[in-house]
């Protein structure tokens, strides 16, 4: 049997070459496909490799009568309806390793930019001003960084924070205290994280428990002048509540790479003088995009040819 793989988004060519070279596998990779074209093609497809731009929702999955596997070139799978995929027997796998370093580095890029007013200082000078007195910043050394989520990316962020001589605490209900201690980090509960952190950074997925977890009530429990960094998922933050806290000065600043709606629309955070924002760039390095694409191709090949499933995010489908 020939196994047909569709890649309806732009991925690194090395992944396409890997699939093309595999025996008994055909690949179709037209680049970014329009939704209507994807719906037409999906019925004869056995596997797809997607990025965040493709919505594998109920409409798409119900049209995918021959679909066996979805490989997400990246970590987050909030663009996949996992319940429908599981019901239809479709195995969903992600690639959590390839963009870890890129995301950790971007977290520090926007954090340092925020602390030292890099974005506003640049804009001021570009507009012909020399406003040194307006851009006095703060050092990271000695500050307490609170990390929500201590998976691969959270650990990578902690490693870099320790190199900056920061104190690091983390909240993650699935991580043992001993594991945190081995990384030089103190595990605390969520209330403790809000109480101790000078800077809060988010590195967790969207669940019922984490959706809008940074809301007005949570912010009220934080230190006055806290700074918030989000390079994970926009829906972790109640954006209206954050905008209010920035207006009042309760939150001194925010560095944001992700938004509840992308591209953001009528979002009070965009252009706010206390916000440094980037357009979902955390995983956008040449190295990371190559790594996640190749990993996605490899897990499709292993699943199709050998029945070996890697990084399955809907494990109930295998029961």
In the prediction, which pLDDT does 65 show? 94
Number of structural domains (the chain) is: 2
Identify the CATH number of the domain in which residue 61 sits. 3.40.50.720
> Mean of the pLDDT values across residues 47-51?
95
Q: 73 and 134: one domain?
A: no
What is this structure's pTM? 0.87
Residues 167, 105 within the same domain:
yes
Give yes or no: residues 249 and 162 share one domain. Answer: yes
18 and 39 share one domain: yes
Q: How high is the pLDDT of residue 205?
A: 87
245-266: average pLDDT: 96
Looking at residue 149, what is its pLDDT?
A: 97
Please tell me the distance from the alpha carbon of residue 154 to that of residue 146, in angstroms, as a whole number.
10
How confident is the model over 213-255, as pLDDT tens digits?
999 999 999 999 999 999 999 999 999 999 999 999 999 999 9
Residues 257 and 190 in one domain: yes
pLDDT of amino acid 296: 96
Which of the four pLDDT bands, split at 50, 70 and 90, describes residue 174?
very high
Are 207 and 265 contained in the same domain? yes
**Quick count: other Cβ atoms within 10 Å of Cβ 116?**
16
Give the pLDDT band (50/70/90) at residue 2: confident
Distance between CA atoms of residues 309 and 287, nearest Å: 24
Domain carrying residue 10? 3-98+286-318
Q: Are residues 182 and 134 part of one domain?
A: yes
d(CA 180, CA 149): 11
Specify whether 157 is located in the same domain as 14. no
Mean pLDDT (the chain) is 95
Q: What percent of the chain has pLDDT over 90?
A: 91
What pLDDT, on the 0 to 100 scale, is given for residue 75? 85
- The confidence band for 46, taking pLDDT boundaries of 50, 70 and 90, is very high
Whether residues 105 and 89 share a domain: the answer is no
Catalytic residue set: 233, 262, 280
Distance between CA atoms of residues 122 and 116, nearest Å? 11
Whether residues 131 and 13 fall in one domain: no
Do 251 and 105 lie in a common domain? yes
* Peptide bond preceding 263 in cis form (omega within 30 of 0): yes
pLDDT interval class at 53 (50, 70, 90): confident
| Domain match, 65 and 136 both | no
pLDDT of residue 105: 98
* Token pair recorded at residue 142: 């000695």
Per-residue pLDDT at 97: 87
Q: Given this model, what pLDDT does residue 31 score?
A: 86
In angstroms, the first-to-last Cα distance of the chain is 24
Average pLDDT over residues 297-311: 94
pLDDT band at 86 (very low <50, low <70, confident <90, very high): very high
Q: What is the mean pLDDT of residues 28-42?
A: 92
């Amino acid at each position: 049997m020939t196994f047909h793989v569709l890649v309806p988004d732009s991925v690194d060519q090395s992944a396409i070459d890997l699939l093309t070279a595999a025996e008994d596998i055909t690949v179709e990779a037209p680049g970014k496909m329009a939704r209507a074209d994807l719906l037409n093609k999906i019925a004869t497809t056995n596997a797809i490799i997607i990025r965040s731009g493709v919505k594998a929702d109920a409409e798409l999955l119900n049209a995918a009568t021959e679909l066996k596997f979805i490989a997400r070139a990246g970590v987050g799978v909030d663009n996949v309806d996992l319940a429908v995929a599981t019901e239809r027997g479709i195995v969903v796998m992600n690639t959590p390793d390839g963009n870890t370093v890129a995301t950790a580095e971007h977290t520090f890029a926007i954090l340092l930019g925020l602390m030292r007013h890099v974005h506003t200082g640049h804009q001021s000078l570009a507009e012909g001003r020399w406003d040194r007195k307006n851009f006095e910043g703060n050092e990271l050394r000695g500050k307490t960084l609170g990390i929500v989520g201590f998976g691969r990316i959270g650990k990578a962020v902690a490693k870099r924070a320790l190199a900056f001589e920061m104190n690091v605490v983390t909240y993650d209900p699935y991580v043992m205290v001993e594991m945190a201690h081995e990384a030089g980090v103190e595990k605390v509960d969520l209330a403790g994280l809000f109480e101790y952190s000078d800077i809060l950074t988010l590195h967790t997925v969207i669940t019922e428990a984490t959706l809008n977890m940074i809301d007005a009530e949570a912010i009220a429990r934080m230190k006055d002048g806290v700074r918030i960094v989000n390079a994970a998922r926009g829906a972790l933050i109640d954006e209206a509540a954050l905008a209010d806290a920035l207006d009042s000065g309760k939150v001194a600043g925010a560095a944001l790479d992700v938004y509840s709606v992308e591209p953001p629309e009528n979002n009070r955070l965009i252009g706010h003088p206390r916000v440094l924002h980037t357009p979902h760039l955390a995983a956008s390095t040449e190295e990371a995009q190559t790594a996640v694409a190749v990993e996605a191709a490899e897990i499709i090949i292993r699943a199709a040819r050998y029945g070996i499933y890697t990084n399955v995010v809907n494990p109930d489908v295998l029961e």
